[in-house]
Amino acid sequence: MPCLALFSLMGPACARLGFFIEEAGVSCLALNASYEPLMIVPSRRAIRLVLDRKAEVLEEDAHRAFRSVRVRHPCPVVIRLVRYVHVPRRFRRQVTNTFLFARDGYACQYCQRHKRQLKNREFLTRDHILPISRGGDNTWQNVVTACSTCNHRKGNRLPREAGLRLPARPVEPNHVELVWAVRRVTPIQAKYIRMFFGEDVVPVGTGGSFSTEWKST
């Protein structure tokens, strides 16, 4: 099945479905046939895929259900596509603070403090290693996570000019892993994401429910 077909399957609302979900706001993790996590889909779309025999249910939520006229089924929370779908990795994601902070482990790259260690009025920011005013750009190689204090101290200078050091040259991250690191998923869904991408991708015990409230400078 080509990629476009997959997205058209996931895309349209299933208004003609003769089902309704008893509790709103439930979403389902869709895995490729290879068990690679693909996307979070609304439950109605997941149900549609299952009813069309395009996906099988791996995990369901017994406390939530969808109904037709005669039957009541538990809501799927993890499904697996029956046929493998090729998903091109062609789209590159822009540097957003959400992904930047995730790449850098939610820690200032200059003082190494984690966001949990910041003081009351401090927050994580985006620092341009070569400042924009001096020709720097917004590429992954030129931006790092910095606490507001280090960012202010650095100002319009290069790190070495400000007496700051970076632990490593920043690189473009693996976006697929980053996407799953910042998604809001349930612990059961997180289990399947870790199985595929490794233990580091989603924090243990929390799902991927990172906050994205940090500010940018």
> Does residue 118 belong to the site contacting Zn ion (CB under 5 A)?
no
Q: Give the range of 85-93, 99-107, 110-118, 124-132 binding Zn ion by CB under 5 A.
A: 110-118
> Does residue 108 belong to the site contacting Zn ion (CB under 5 A)?
yes
DSSP-based three-state secondary structure for 28: strand
Q: Please, what is the minimum distance in Å from the beta carbon of residue 168 to Zn ion?
A: 16
Of the residues 111, 162, 176, 188, which one makes contact with Zn ion according to CB under 5 A:
111
> Does residue 214 belong to the site contacting Zn ion (CB under 5 A)?
no
Size, binding site for Zn ion by CB under 5 A: 5
From 36, 30, 27, select the one nearest 75 (Cα to Cα). 27
Of the residues 99, 101, 106, 110, which one makes contact with Zn ion according to CB under 5 A:
110
What is the rounded CA–CA span in Å between residue 77 and residue 101?
A: 28
Tokens read off for 70:
């005669």
What is the rounded CA–CA span in Å between residue 143 and residue 127?
A: 6
For Zn ion, which is the closer residue by CB, 112 or 212?
112
Of the residues 150, 178, 179, 185, which one makes contact with Zn ion according to CB under 5 A:
150
Exposed/middle/buried for 142, CB within 10 Å: 0-12, 13-18, 19+? Answer: middle
> Does residue 147 belong to the site contacting Zn ion (CB under 5 A)?
yes
β-strands 72-81, 37-42 pairing? unpaired
β-strands 72-81, 55-67 pairing? antiparallel
> Does residue 144 belong to the site contacting Zn ion (CB under 5 A)?
no
46, 30 contact by CB (below 8 A): yes
Q: Give the range of 29-37, 98-106, 141-149, 155-163 binding Zn ion by CB under 5 A.
A: 141-149
Binders of Zn ion in range 45-74 (CB under 5 A): none
User: What are the two backbone dihedrals, phi and then psi, of residue 178, each rounded to the nearest 5 degrees?
Assistant: -65, -40
Q: Please, what is the minimum distance in Å from the beta carbon of residue 203 to Zn ion?
A: 22
Q: Which stretches of the chain bind Zn ion, using CB under 5 A?
A: 108, 110-111, 147, 150
